[in-house]
Structure 1
Amino acid sequence: MSLRKWTSTDKTPTTLLIRLVVGVVFLSEGIQKFLFAAAQGSGRFEKIGMPSPEFLGPFVGITEIICGFLILIGLLTRFAAIPLISIMLVAIYTTKLPMLNDGGIWKMLHESRTDWAMLLCSIFLLIRGGGAFSIDKKL
């Protein structure tokens, strides 16, 4: 797939709002995986039973920082959305679906609201691109 396909985007200026939400949330969450590794990074991955948490914590953190930053500035927006979609699908599967057994549907829906928002906004960016105020648009 060509660079032109990955940087293609619509002319919608309001896409900037979605980019700001997704970019800031993932960038800050990625940084927190290093600042608070025991609670947000490798320690959290170990607690939920993920394999190789000492590798996975920093790996996910770096991915969130890089992709969050790319989305924030609107560079390779479609490409950057793909790993973030994967991260959110894994997060929902590993941390939110088990809540169905423990607390039921309402607890799961309440606890997963940010995850669903980030997933759907990332899918939006994959489909639409970075929008009018993006580096993608200038390319």
Structure 2
Amino acid sequence: MLKKLMRTDTSKATILIRLMVGAVFLSEGVQKFLYPLARGAGRFEKMGFPSPEFFANCVGVFEVLGGLLILLGLLTRGGAIFTFIIMSVAIAVTKIPIGLGHSFGPFALRDLHTYGFWVMAHEMRTDFAMWLGSLFLLIRGGGSLSVDALLTHQSGERGNQSET
């Protein structure tokens, strides 16, 4: 089961996606602890999360862990599951209300000059890029320049998984 989770494509270029996604999540996770009012519990409270300290710390831990796993290419798919879920929730909680133009549930709408689809698209550009990057890594794995490939003896192997 673990070996199957670590199985990866043979692309060397996957490291670029890993560096992008891993570095962003590691940085954002660390900032939740360094700047709790702006990036952590204070931000989660403004968004309307119940128990904002718990959720901010939980997300911070998973961002750091997921970011590190992705950067190393170790259990890349596991790290990508964390980051994919985090981005899915972030888009639903913070960006969908912008598209709708009103708060929903306990989640507060940010104060912007305008609302609607194009404002939402602009506001979620980084979230969407991280969501797609996480999805890519979830599907493809860490690539040939990863600990996953090294541990499963795939680094020079061709033919077991096609490059699509």
TM surpasses 0.5: yes
Displacement of 1:101 in angstroms is: 3.2
Q: Give the TM-score normalised by structure 1.
A: 0.97
Displacement of 1:115 in angstroms is: 0.4
Match among 138, 145, 148 for residue 126 of structure 1? 138
Question: 2:100, 2:87 → 1: CA distance?
Answer: 20
- CA shift digits 1:83-104 (9 cap, x unpaired): 1111101100000011013311
Which letter does structure 2 place at the counterpart of 1:67?
A: G
- Tell me which residue corresponds to 1:13: 12
- CA shift digits 1:47-85 (9 cap, x unpaired): 111121111111110110011001001000011111111
- Tell me which residue corresponds to 2:80: 81
**SS state of the match for residue 50, structure 1?**
coil
**SS state of the match for residue 11, structure 2?**
coil
Question: 1:52, 1:86 → 2: CA distance?
Answer: 19
Question: 2:72, 2:145 → 1: CA distance?
Answer: 9
**SS state of the match for residue 124, structure 1?**
helix
RMSD of aligned alpha carbons: 0.7
Match among 106, 125, 137 for residue 113 of structure 1? 125
Q: Give the TM-score normalised by structure 2.
A: 0.82
Displacement of 1:128 in angstroms is: 0.3
Instruction: Give structure 1 stretches of 5+ with no counterpart.
Output: none
Which letter does structure 1 place at the counterpart of 2:98?
A: M
Moved over 2 A (4+): none
Sequence identity percentage: 57
Which letter does structure 2 place at the counterpart of 1:7?
A: M
Instruction: Give structure 2 stretches of 5+ with no counterpart.
Output: 102-114, 152-164
Which letter does structure 2 place at the counterpart of 1:111?
A: E
**How many pairs align?**
138
Question: 2:33, 2:63 → 1: CA distance?
Answer: 11
